Amino acid sequence: MKTFAFVLALALAAGVASAEDYPILSAGGGGMNPLDNDRTVIWEDTANLDGSIGTSEQILEFGLESELANDFLVEVDVTICKWTWWGGYYNYLPGDPLATFWILRIYDDGGCVPFSMLGEIVTADNANETYIYDQAGFPVYEYYHCECIPFAANLYWFGAVAGDHAFPPQWGRLQADVVQLCDTVFQSAYFAFPDWVPAMDVFGYVYDASQRMEDDCGVPTEETTWGSIKSLY
């Protein structure tokens, strides 16, 4: 019998080392590095390197689908080109196969809850998965995807889901430092939450998922329209 967990509470595990004990190993730097002057952060929920990891994944062999979505505020009309999120693996042993693609979903707001899905992007690769650090054997990574999408000023929601992968391991989104605006929400029929609920109702403590949106990816990126995204699914 397979046993799946909602969340890995990294900071609560006995003997867990602080994130400061581990270097950022990627040549390009991890998510904590300062941005260059050519990019503007539209929104950021800063990653808590000692934070928990909440399930947001597909393991279709066992019927598991879960999603964590966090809100982001667009204050003026803008085009977002770089989407960054943080997450990691648990129920994990070295050598376990990792996820190979991610499903990114964008929703409009229905009053501190996602309302309708505006678009879904399935990455063609591992979303530039970059190792950041290790806590007691659980690897944590930074991810990003470049796709330019225009937004009108409003509140939106961003979901990042590890595409169908083997078990073990499990994958989840990394907790942010603080909750901004609305609480992150969770949905999973597998775990008996078929509708969006505050993550706190599931995990038992305040939880916000880490993410960052920027107006430039640092590389040439073709702009995408909502219509072209919707035509993909």
Tens of pLDDT along 145-195?
999 999 999 999 999 999 999 988 999 999 999 999 999 999 999 999 999
- Name residue 227's amino acid: G
Residue ranges of the alpha helices (H) in the chain?
Answer: 199-203, 226-230
Angle in degrees, CA 82, 9, 196, rounded to 5: 60
Secondary structure (3-state) at 152: coil
Radius of gyration (Cα) for the chain, nearest Å? 17
Give the model confidence (pLDDT) of 49-79 as tens digits.
888 899 999 999 989 999 999 999 999 999 9
What confidence tier does 90 reach under pLDDT thresholds 50, 70, 90?
confident
Asked if omega into 168 is within 30° of 0 (cis), the reply is yes
pLDDT at 139: 85
pLDDT at 114: 98
Q: Whole-angstrom Cα distance, residue 18 to residue 26?
A: 18
Q: Whole-angstrom Cα distance, residue 81 to residue 223?
A: 8
Task: Measure the N-to-C terminal CA separation of the chain; round to a whole number of Å.
Answer: 33
Q: Whole-angstrom Cα distance, residue 97 to residue 74?
A: 36
Residues 6+ apart with CB under 8 A from 137: 92, 93, 94
pTM comes to: 0.82
Residues 6+ apart with CB under 8 A from 39: 82, 214, 215, 216, 218
